[in-house]
Each structure stands twice: as C-alpha cells, then as structure tokens.
Amino acid sequence: MSNYKQLITEKIIKELADDSVWTVDDAMKKWWMTPRPDGLRLTDMGDLSFRIAKIEFYNYDFELDNPASWHSYILELNKKLKCPYFISVNKNKNGKKPFIRLYDSKIAIMVSLYGNIQEYLKAVKVPNDRRKEK
C-alpha cells in the first residue's frame, strides 16, 4: 500500500495548485498519521489538503462500544479501510460527537448500506497475512 499512499499524495499535490509548496516527501510525512504502508488515516494537515483540493468526502458519526479499545479500533480501520480517512470530533452544545470522514464514494455507499461504520467493518474480511503463517 506504500506505493498506493504515495500515488494518492502525488495526485492531491497536483490538484492543489501549480504553485503548491508541497513536495511528495513532505506531504507523505505531514499528511499521513503513519509513514508505514498500512493505514490511510490522515492528519489534520492531510484532511485540510484534501478539502482544499476539493476531494469529495462523506462524514459518518460513530461511537466506540468500548472506549478502552481505541487502539484496536484504529488498527482495524487501518486494515479494513482501503481509502483515505480522517477521524475527529464535532463540538456542539450537547458535547463532543466523534466522526469519520471517508474519501471514497464506493466505501461510503457501503457504509450507508450497512447502516454505520461499525457494521461495515464487521462485514469486511481481511485476507490472512502470509508472513504470520511462516
């Protein structure tokens, strides 16, 4: 997925402007939560860059069944979401409401069909990692 992440980064830089100050190396470091090939989670700067480039996105509210499982939830998202995504919270008078922003219409439609992001994640099957089998 590393090449995929770099390809996405290159395409977004081209969409930003002719005079964009971003290099691919800088954007790879600043836009993505992890430099590892797995996971397409965006940082605040990455999300802002995608929105400036006018990349279509879809927001979905979510709640964790067990807040203590945040780390395992992020690992699951990294394995199962094959599109750039951003996680944040909306603040309103009733408190904070977490949301996930997906930058892929096909996955967004599937999330809508399943009803929410948790049900979609339950349905996604990830092939076994062959390195673990050896």
pLDDT tens digit sequence for 19-63: 778 899 999 999 999 878 789 999 999 999 999 999 999 999 987
Which of the four pLDDT bands, split at 50, 70 and 90, describes residue 134? very low
Question: Which region among 17-21, 85-89, 126-130 has the lowest average model confidence (pLDDT)?
Answer: 126-130
pLDDT of residue 5 exceeding 90: yes
CB 82 within 8 A of CB 124: no
What is the per-residue pLDDT for 11? 94
User: pTM of the entire structure?
Assistant: 0.86
The residue extents of the domains of the chain are 2-127
Between 62 and 113, the more confident residue is 113
Question: Percent of the chain beyond pLDDT 70?
Answer: 90
Judged on CB neighbours under 10 Å (0-12, 13-18, 19+), 84 is buried
Q: What is the mean pLDDT of the chain?
A: 87
The dihedral sign for the CA sequence 79, 83, 86, 87: negative
What is the per-residue pLDDT for 133? 46
Which residues are paired to 85 by β-bridges?
41, 102
Between 24 and 91, the more confident residue is 24
What is the per-residue pLDDT for 6? 92
Judged on CB neighbours under 10 Å (0-12, 13-18, 19+), 32 is buried
Q: Which amino acid is at 130?
A: R
What is the average pLDDT across 1-22? 85
